[in-house]
Amino acid sequence: MKQKLITEVLQGMLGTLNNAQLEKLQKVLEHTLFDKEVTEAVSDDMVAPNTKLLDAFLAAKRIEGCSERSLTYYKTTIETMQKKVDKSIQTIETEDLRTYLTEYQKEKQSSKVTIDNIRRILSSFFAWLEDEDYIIKSPVRRIHKVKAALTIKETYTDENLETMRDNCVELRDLALIDMLASTGMRVGELVLLNRRDINFEERECVVFGKGSKERMVYFDARTKIHLQNYLDSRIDDNPALFVSLKAPYNRLKIGGVEVRLRNLGKQLGINKMHPHKFRRTLATMAIDKGMPIEQLQQLLGHQRIDTTLQYAMVKQSNVKIAHRKFIG
């Protein structure tokens, strides 16, 4: 309790005293309170400061360009931690968060990747509080990245892709699969596309990626033909590129694409058929055929090249060929 009081006093003096003065103040407080008994009065006002700080953080992230989907994820993650720790944000310590992450993993049986995602969000939140002088030091600083085993995720084989195309009953589904397979775009980018966004002459279109960033993606000749056939068959006037199969022909949503592909995968016996798998397949294929990683990074719209490398899996047979070529 004494340390909590000292911390609150020091936080109150942030921006008024420099580091040397804060250190001196801390020593004086520790000496003065050494033989004193400190008790805490119960207060119902703790929730309000927590809520205000979280709202301020989310507002800052919104200005930085974070999507509403990401903001909702941040909000839920931080609020869940607050309820479990049950302390004022400004008095949360490293051990509180370590205990929370440990208990969360045991209770939810979460993977190391999930726990590290929570750690990253908490780190971003407390780092912002530190930068804005709401706290002296982020309690997440001493909680290091959670190391997870590197697993090679599945990609579609050439046979998988041809099987999908051969078994598409609807022109829309055929165009949708080709669009995902040839561009490597995110499913969230796909459902935002409009008819007017497509440049058939250049076989390209502009998509809006994460953080509302625009980038150009490209599709092949087969996709062009199948997309034109689908659009020519439409009888609706919805500007969306992909719509539902039945009236009132609403814009297709992410969930609709996922369900459609999942059902098709079950029919064809293709394991884990998911829209993001097309993106990973394109990345692997591009690396396998020698595309420079920097160009692939731009094509996929990744801010960091490390992310691009995580998507791409180089075939072992090509590693063997390269070894014989360059090493002997």
Write out the chain in H/E/C secondary structure.
Answer: CHHHHHHHHHHHCECCECHHHHHHHHHHHHHHCCCCCCCCCCCCCCHHHHHHHHHHHHHHHHHCCCCHHHHHHHHHHHHHHHHHHCCCHHHCCHHHHHHHHHHHHHHHCCCHHHHHHHHHHHHHHHHHHHHCCCCCCCCCCCCCCCCCCCCCCCCCCHHHHHHHHHCCCCHHHHHHHHHHHHHCCCHHHHCCCEHHHEECCCCEEEEECHHHCEEEEECCHHHHHHHHHHHHHCCCCCCECCECCCCCCCECCHHHHHHHHHHHHHHHCCCCCCHHHHHHHHHHHHHHCCCCHHHHHHHHCCCCHHHHHHHCCCCHHHHHHHHHHHCC
Specify the CATH number of the domain 42-131: 1.10.150
Q: Are the beta carbons of 195 and 231 closer than 8 angstroms?
A: yes
Quick: pLDDT tens for 139-174.
Answer: 999 999 988 766 667 899 999 999 999 999 999 999
How does pLDDT run across 25-64, given as a tens digit for each residue?
888 888 887 777 766 654 444 445 888 999 999 999 999 8
**pLDDT at residue number 42:** 43
User: What is the reported pLDDT for 23?
Assistant: 86
Q: How far apart are CA 199 and CA 179, in angstroms?
A: 13
pLDDT in tens, the chain (328 residues): 677 777 878 777 776 788 888 888 888 888 887 777 766 654 444 445 888 999 999 999 999 888 888 899 999 999 999 999 988 888 899 999 999 999 999 999 999 989 999 999 999 999 999 999 888 889 999 999 988 766 667 899 999 999 999 999 999 999 999 999 999 999 999 999 999 999 999 999 999 877 667 889 999 999 999 999 999 999 999 999 999 999 999 999 999 999 999 999 999 999 899 999 999 999 988 888 888 889 999 899 888 888 887 776 666 666 676 767 778 6
Amino acid 318 reads: N
**What is the structure's pLDDT at 47?**
47
Q: 204 pairs with which residues across the strands?
A: 199, 218
Domain ranges of the chain: 42-131, 158-323
pLDDT of 38 = 66
Q: Which CATH class is domain 158-323?
A: mainly alpha
